[in-house]
Structure 1
């Protein structure tokens, strides 16, 4: 039986006096690519920050690779790629990666940097300043920075946003190779055609989990012809259920 890389129980995150995530339970199987999908504002980034251990005002249990999220022991075991570029544009590719390798206390930084560069196919760009790279290349540098510690869990927040279809395809090929090598990936996206690239799907709406399923199960359950229409069907159903609950509560109060 496959173990879970992440186990979340009764997660609650409050911001500005209101719950962003309220009582979420979910598990991420080890060695798989898990897609975290949902519209903007659904709580995807908040959930990912909770997994990495950098989110404030969190209650509940978030266990990552057998330890509490954010503990020092996970520093090298978990890689995190944020939505915005997390690298320094005035440094070269190699300088950025050496810096992140030092932060992760990598024992053989030169080897780790070379391996990360090779994984994201940036060979020949090591001495180039990041500010002179294309948008797609900068995304690859950010991914390399998340990989340089040799993580067992990779948390990627909308890594393909703004990229053209060819670059998106190439990045997903990298993700699949990493998973085949044993890495667990939690990848957020609002691009529904990326759902079919995942082993498992977590679909969110308004801070709640709408479905925990596979791409095949998603299509079979909804009867939709593609992932986007399947997701919209679930989102609409979830919205109707919430409206019904609100209506019932209001009638009961009367």
Structure 2
């Protein structure tokens, strides 16, 4: 398959803060790649570097077959960017916003393009409604319609479903997968594990470094993580008692269940041994993506403070 993005050695600093550190990434056309990482990890900066909104300090490669350092203007014309904060005009209607975007891009056949965007995103019946009066889910649809009105080849989504209800999130992802099936390449930053697992592949960024890359299944398989699930009374107290034990990388309560994970199986089993009795019920389970990312975060933090 053809690579929509093939960039190597990407770096960006703001003053003395090194925000993106030697990131190299390849993304094939028509793929949905998710970027995960805590706030301040460099996800948004990486997205903006790739689409030409920011100039890198160093790095080389191609985006959409163009040199991403010297042809950033051409890349931007073929890229859609949906920001986390709603950035359209709230005192204009849905249709007026799309008409304005069409004029900004100097698109031909603007009425037909706007009509098609309204139809595709299910906005026809609300076309005369002010954008500022829309709920979060409808604002999200409008923003997506605006970001794809010029038929980009690359779509960047920065925390696109923050504050949106589950039904609207599901409909949004269904639309994104439909667009990707038509050849659109999508990069999306998210905090939601279920959304990350809906991506074709993911990258985990921490302290500006890309520390994990692949499908969710590949990242879990490479983790060498052992995970046990326990159910029983006062499970929160058990979690607190286990979290500082040798061999335990994480111990998290989920309602009446407890997830305990570690990479040193003998030490982990020794830590949970006193609790493997009634009334607790234990079983070994497959690690979740969240378990693995917590492990990666802890390991990288330890390496950072040790250096």
> Taking CA–CA contacts closer than 8 Å with sequence separation of 6 or more, which of the two structures ends up with the larger relative contact order?
1
Matches within 5 A, 1:166-205: 166-205=167-206
CA distance in 2, matches of 1:180, 1:239: 38
CA distance in 2, matches of 1:148, 1:220: 39
Question: Partner of 1:12 in structure 2?
Answer: 11
Contact 1:93-1:141 at 8 Å conserved across structures: yes
- TM-score normalised to structure 2 length: 0.75
Deviations 1:114-168 (A, max 9, x none): 2222232222111111011112111111111101001111000010111111111
User: 117-126 or 144-153: which moved more?
Assistant: 117-126
Deviations 1:190-228 (A, max 9, x none): 112211101110110010001111011122223453221
Question: Partner of 1:252 in structure 2?
Answer: none
CA distance in 1, matches of 2:134, 2:220: 39
- Judged with a 3 Å threshold, the aligned counterparts in structure 2 of structure 1 residues 197 and 102 are, in CA distance, closer, same or farther, namely same
Question: Partner of 2:304 in structure 1?
Answer: 242
Contact 1:120-1:140 at 8 Å conserved across structures: yes
Question: Partner of 2:264 in structure 1?
Answer: none
Matches within 5 A, 1:16-95: 16-56=15-55, 58-61=57-60, 63-69=62-68, 71-95=72-96
User: 232-241 or 172-181: which moved more?
Assistant: 232-241
Question: Partner of 2:101 in structure 1?
Answer: 100
Unaligned runs of 5+ in 1: 247-254
- TM-score normalised to structure 1 length: 0.90
Question: Partner of 1:151 in structure 2?
Answer: 152
* Pair 1:233 & 2:295 matched: yes
Query: What is the root-mean-square deviation of aligned Cα atoms in Å?
Result: 1.6
CA distance in 1, matches of 2:76, 2:43: 21
Contact 1:7-1:27 at 8 Å conserved across structures: yes
- Judged with a 3 Å threshold, the aligned counterparts in structure 2 of structure 1 residues 225 and 119 are, in CA distance, closer, same or farther, namely farther
User: 182-191 or 224-233: which moved more?
Assistant: 224-233
**Alignment size in residue pairs:** 244
Contact 2:52-2:73 at 8 Å conserved across structures: no
CA distance in 2, matches of 1:63, 1:192: 29
SS at match of 2:39: coil
Unaligned runs of 5+ in 2: 226-285
Deviations 1:84-118 (A, max 9, x none): 11210011111111111122222222222122222
Question: Partner of 2:252 in structure 1?
Answer: none
Contact 2:49-2:56 at 8 Å conserved across structures: no
CA distance in 1, matches of 2:73, 2:176: 25
CA distance in 2, matches of 1:42, 1:114: 39
SS at match of 1:197: coil
Rg larger for? 2
